[in-house]
Amino acid sequence: MNASHTDIKKLKKSEGPTLTKKKLREELSLQLFGETQNEPAWFSPLTFFLSDGVLSVRFPHQLFFRWFSEQGQKRLEAACRDLFGNTVEVRYTWGKNEQLFSSSSLHRSHEEKISHSNWDDFFPGGRNRDAVTQFRKALSLSPSVILLHGPSGTGKSHLISAAAEELRSRYPSHSVRILSGQNISFFLSLKEETFEGCAAFLIDDVHLLSEDAKAQRALASLIDALEKRAFFITTMIDQPSETLIPELYDRLCSHLVLELMEPDLDVRMRFALLHMERAGLPENRDLALLLSRQCLKLRPLSGIIASLKNLYVQRGRLPSSEEVLALLRSHGAPQPLDAESIIAAVASHYGCTSKELIEKNRNSHLSIPRQAAMYLCRELLGESYPSIGLIFGGRDHSTIMYAIKKIEKIQVMNNDAHMVLTEITKQLKKGRSEGAQGKKSSFPS
């Protein structure tokens, strides 16, 4: 939706004295490339100036523009659209202000739309399937406020990007703005009068506003102003009550709040197999399992697979297990979990010993801790029922199945039980299994 002449005047007033060429360039770079310091050759020589609703992009010479139009023009205009909406005209110049090209609107047609994420590439797993289903259902309804939260690496950025593409298709004549919490402060101060044509407002990592109460209040006011007229979709790592001011917290939690859980072994395994196939690597389930057990988050897993591809191209073969482990260490991957570590962590939490959990004894006070350890071995390691039976003193696989189903049912019925397993899991993943020494069980006996 194009802004009126009055809106352009308001935009000019909202620029303020802080909108320097340097600041403008920094915001565009952040929107395009994130925090990386490596700017591509098509961006580095450009200078930018914003005035009277016109963004001027200056080139070193005319020939450069011809190369830029092939390399970066669509990406730059997409970033400008996400930052400024449809109200700013882009003009390309060189030399003595000679105009080369003018883009009357930053709206992208369906053919020009660049999709970086889609629903099919997301691996929800059993833990997150319901959350993703609810999220997609909410997008098909009337505009509302949606908050996605969960640990880093659970796919929140992927989902918000996929949602942006779906909403752009649904509202082709309106702007859909997707921003990072890093640049939302700049955007709110710049565009406070020009949100009326926005169909959706998506903020990734809103917790990055934790130190900026002014920006949080501005965002809360924006939600009030455009309630039921635009989607407000935000993601964050931490619990909102611990990070945001009450005004914003109340508004973000006023509608749909969805929690994404960390990917389990099955999800990581499927992710590894798919990305190995896309990288042109031979199918190797043992290698995929090794990577999945070592990498608890999907982003590092993707990076390691990219490194494996380089080695495979150079050598013509997959690296050995020892070489893969060395590569994992160079990427900072934590030491893999094993059954012994899990059993020790559970025993420490309940004030007993690992030996007591493994032995075949019928002490009633050890029943729940032992079953919890079995459940975590299955959940975190993906071990088979017979394998877990061997670990726990040669028990039959049917006994293991019963124990795991019992813990799954207890978690649903008892929030304290869920909290216990979550705490132990976090300690294991941080390598601090001794942190819960002497704690008592919150599980029902």
pLDDT at 39 over 90: no
Q: What is the mean pLDDT of residues 359-363?
A: 81
Residue pair 47/21 in contact by the 8 Å Cβ criterion: yes
* Beta-bridge mates of residue 59: 94
Question: Distance between CA 18 and CA 24 in Å, rounded?
Answer: 9
Q: Which residues contact 67 (CB under 8 A, 6 or more apart)?
A: 42
Phi then psi dihedrals of residue 256, to 5 deg: -100, 125
**pLDDT at position 169:** 87
| Ranges of each domain in the chain | 5-103, 119-259, 265-330, 339-436
Question: Distance between CA 292 and CA 308 in Å, rounded?
Answer: 14
Q: CATH homologous superfamily of domain 339-436?
A: DnaA protein, C-terminal DNA-binding domain (1.10.1750.10)
Rg (CA), the chain: 26
Element holding 119 (H helix, E strand): none
Q: What is the mean pLDDT of residues 30-45?
A: 77
**pLDDT at position 400:** 92
Average pLDDT, the chain: 78
Residue pair 353/301 in contact by the 8 Å Cβ criterion: no
Report which of residues 314 and 103 the model is more confident about.
314
Least trusted range by pLDDT, from 53-62, 321-330, 343-352: 53-62
Question: Distance between CA 121 and CA 161 in Å, rounded?
Answer: 12
Residue pair 202/158 in contact by the 8 Å Cβ criterion: no
**pLDDT at position 325:** 84
Question: Distance between CA 108 and CA 106 in Å, rounded?
Answer: 6
Percent of the chain whose predicted confidence (pLDDT) is above 90 = 16
Q: What is the DSSP annotation of 91-112? A: EEEETTTEEEEEES--PPPTTT
**pLDDT at position 117:** 61
Q: Which residues of 124-136 are buried (b: 16+ CB within 10 A; e: fewer)?
A: bbebbeebbeebe
Q: Which residues contact 272 (CB under 8 A, 6 or more apart)?
A: 288, 291, 292, 301, 305
pLDDT at 110 over 50: no
**pLDDT at position 189:** 66
Q: What is the DSSP annotation of 344-356? A: HHHHHHHT--HHH
Distance of CA 17 to the CA centre of its chain: 34
Of 116, 121, 89, residue with least CA distance to 31: 116
pLDDT at 334 over 70: no
Question: Distance between CA 360 and CA 339 in Å, rounded?
Answer: 17
Q: What is the mean pLDDT of residues 150-176?
A: 86
Of 281, 290, 223, residue with least CA distance to 254: 223
Phi then psi dihedrals of residue 111, to 5 deg: -70, -30
**pLDDT at position 13:** 40
Element holding 148 (H helix, E strand): strand 145-149
Tokens describing residue 280: 């042109």
pLDDT at 32 over 50: yes
Q: What is the mean pLDDT of residues 90-98?
A: 69
Question: Distance between CA 311 and CA 319 in Å, rounded?
Answer: 7
**pLDDT at position 2:** 37
Residue pair 358/343 in contact by the 8 Å Cβ criterion: yes
What is the fold of 5-103? GMP Synthetase; Chain A, domain 3 (3.30.300)
**pLDDT at position 106:** 41
Q: Pairing between strand 54-59 and 47-51?
A: antiparallel
Question: Distance between CA 104 and CA 107 in Å, rounded?
Answer: 9
Of 316, 319, 283, 285, residue with least CA distance to 304: 319
Q: What is the mean pLDDT of residues 168-178?
A: 84
What are the C-alpha distances in Å from 417 to residues 263, 408, 432? 20, 10, 20
- pLDDT tens digits, 221-241: 888 888 888 999 999 986 666
Check whether domain 119-259 has CATH 3.40.50.300, yes or no: yes
- pLDDT tens digits, 365-416: 899 999 999 999 888 877 778 878 888 988 888 899 999 999 988 988 888 8
Tally the C-alpha atoms within 13 A of residue 10's C-alpha that lie toward its C-beta: 13
Tally the C-alpha atoms within 13 A of residue 30's C-alpha that lie toward its C-beta: 17
Element holding 6 (H helix, E strand): helix 5-15
Q: What is the DSSP annotation of 139-173? A: HTSS--EEEEE-STTSSHHHHHHHHHHHHHHH-TT
Report which of residues 262 and 378 the model is more confident about.
378
Of 259, 261, 263, 260, residue with least CA distance to 380: 263
